[in-house]
Each structure stands twice: as structure tokens, then as C-alpha cells.
Amino acid sequence: MTDKLKLGLAGIGTVGSGLLRLIEARGKSLSTRAGRPVEVVAVSARNRRKKRGVDLSGVRFVKDPIALATDPEIDVFVELIGGESGVAKEAVEAAFRAGKHVVTANKALLAHHGASLAALAEKNGVTLNFEGAVAGGIPVVKVIREGLQGNEISRVYGILNGTCNYILTLMEREGRSFADVLKEAQAEGYAEADPTFDIGGFDTAHKLALLTSLAFGTRTKFDAVYVEGIETITPADIEAADDLGYRIKLLGVALRTDSGIEQRVHPTMVPKDTAIAEVDGVSNCVAIDGDFVGDVMLIGPGAGGGPTASAVMSDIIDIARGQILPPFGITTKHMKPYKKAQMRAHEGGYYIRLSVYDRPGAFAAIAQRMATQGISIESIVQRRPEVAAGRRGGPPPTAVVMVTHQTTEDAVRKALVAIERDGHVAAKPQMIRIEKL
């Protein structure tokens, strides 16, 4: 058996601690699979004395992550600090310049700087592995980068954030409000004290940007992702979706089109009879459409110390075996510039919920605004009156649910702005895309 593969680990939080426990528990079998022993020889963390439930007595502590990244005793720098810039980025760049391989689970860093970091790794003859950055324990990076290389991928989409999926699942099962379920998710540890990054869709967008580059061979372009979170989803929307034969999920969707690449993150109504509709709780799901393989779907734990540590370790074993691949499947000189797709009609149509005042001419005015934008309505349902009182003590507004035929988002948004401006609705209109899967 050859020399040890020596790791320098920066960041001993949930994932870092999980990685240390995995190596401790599986040391002998890891050596067999990797073809050489794998050992963490040095670590870096903000708080040296914090109890983490792992034995660090034989591991050297390095205060500065950048110093650890260039330490002559390590072969691989494992970056689990997080953050799109700052010390995480500086340490990774320093590791490459020092000829060290890098393994990271930092989706934000790669979504913003993936192509430039990959180029730096290639320049210095080392690798950048990031299986743990997307969908936790689901091996989607390897599937796209290695398993599906014979395919032209037309679409990749999925549930990429467990916090949002957990909240939407409980809202549906128990009929509770978004705010109420969010509090429970925070208490259970499924949501952060400041949950904006998750519920606002930004975590999903970072992961989608990486999947887009892997699937379509383009440079990462996080700023091109349209992002919409789940904060506006109400029990009324979930009930209406159920009546219409759908469930609501926060999806990240990337499409290859004739005019360019389309990337979007938003709440979506998916048919109840599809596999993705059945993915509940904190689980993640990634679906890939290839021309020869057909449709591939991967489902599993999308976060947490154990699953993500498992992904990180798979990257480490690849390095131990001498498997050095371009980070995004092709060399950076062959990665195409990102070209944003032109706006087109959304094939699945749209769900629209309006809180309409009960007065003469209101429905006619709404219908006219839709017609002006060329929007054809597939169905319209008047639901029970809402609890809130109408304007000036009048009758309560009525919830009206419409489903459109195929149309553009621009047309829908223009119509809704005009409807709201006309004053016939008591609240901001709700719009959710219906996805054909």
C-alpha cells in the first residue's frame, strides 16, 4: 500500500465533524477502497476549544486556514468553511497555487467563482472536487460528470433545499400557515435563525448554477438565475393545488433551449402522479433528461453531517486513487460562455389566485386585462369568501383561482400589475407556475 493521503481540514462544523467521525469509523475499509490510508493531519477552526464529539488529540491545529491550505505536510485541502468570498476563497486559491488538491462543499463559492477556480486548479495540475456542494448525499455531480458523458442533456431540475421541502410538506399535511411551520422548522433545527438564504430560494439557486454548468458545459452564471422563494405560499394555495391535482414544491429548473440557457428557482405546481411530487420532508431530488439515457431521477438526503460527509469522502477517495478530472467535466477552455435564453411561452401555464371584491364590473375588468395580454384561461373557479372583511365594511372578497393555457411570464405579470392597479383585488395577486414533468 502506498503512502498516506494527508488531509488538512478547514471548518469543523456539522459537515467537518461528520467527516472526522466517518474516517474514524471506516478507517480500515477506506484505506482498502482508496488504495492507501487516508488521514486528517491538521485542522483549522474559529474556536479551538469547542466540543465537537470527535477526538482531535492527535491532530495538529492551525489557526489560519490559508496557512493550512499551503502547509507542506498536507496533500489535500478540505474546505468546509463556507461563504462565497473572503477566507474560504483565499484559502482555496492558495491551496491550488501550492499544488494541493481541493475538496469543498461550498456551493456559494463555486456558484460565483467556479470557472476561475477550476482554471486555477487546471493550471497547477491539481483537482477541484465538490460532490458535497449539491444535494448532500446524492451523488449527482458524479452522475452528470462521469456517468452521463455520452448524453446531451436538455434539462436538469429538482428539489434542492430540504428546509423548503419540509415546510411545504407540513403546510400540506397539517393545513398550517407558512409562518407557523417555519417556527417549528427552526425549533427542530431544519431552518436557521435567519432562514432567508433557504426560504428565499438562494441556496437552491447556488446549487442550480453548478448543475447548469455540469449539464450544459457553460461557465457558472449565478446572476442569471431567476430566484423566487416560498414566503408567499398560503394554505389557500396548497388547498387549491390539491383540488387541481397538484402539489407545490420549490424547484430549481435549468433548460437548454435554441436561444440559450434558462435557469429559474420558484414554487411550482407539479402533478400528484409524478415521482417528484412524492418527495417529502427534508429529502432532495434531482432529475436529468438525456437524449440517449432518457430520464434519470436521484432521490435522497440533501443535507446534514452524515450525508454531506459521505459525499466529501467520495471526492477524497477519487484523489487517493489518482483520479483527476476537470471539475465541470470538460476543461475550462472548452466551457462555453453563458448565454441567457430569450423569453418564451411556459408550457405548463400558470396558476393565479386573486382576492376579488364583490362588486359590479370587477370580473369583467379582470377578464379584459387578461385578454389584452393575450392570455387564454383554461379554467376559473370561485372559491369560498375569504375571512377578511371587505373594503368599508362590505362583503368579504372572494378567492378566485384561474389556470391559464400556455403563455409567457411577461404577459401574466403585466396583466396582474394592471389588475392590482385597477383596485378590484384586496391583496397582491398570487402566481405559481405549473410544470410539465
Q: Give the active site residues.
A: 207
Element of type H or E holding 237: helix 235-244
| Contacts of residue 361, Cβ cutoff 8 Å, sequence gap at least 6 | none
Whether 78 contacts 103, CB under 8 Å: yes
Q: How many whole angstroms separate alpha carbon 185 and alpha carbon 339?
A: 38
One-letter amino acid for residue 88 of the chain? A
Which amino acid is located at 341 in the chain?
Answer: A
DSSP string, 283-346: EEEEEEEETTTEEEEEEEE-SSHHHHHHHHHHHHHHHHTT----TTSS-GGGPBPP-BPPP--B
Beta strand 76-79 pairing with 101-104: parallel
Q: Detail the DSSP E strand segments found in 121-244.
A: 128-129, 153-159, 226-227
The letter for the amino acid at 326 is P
CB 103 within 8 A of CB 141: no
Q: What is the DSSP string of 58-73?
A: TSEE-S-HHHHHT-TT
Q: Is 219 left (phi over 0), alpha (psi -120 to 50) or beta?
A: beta
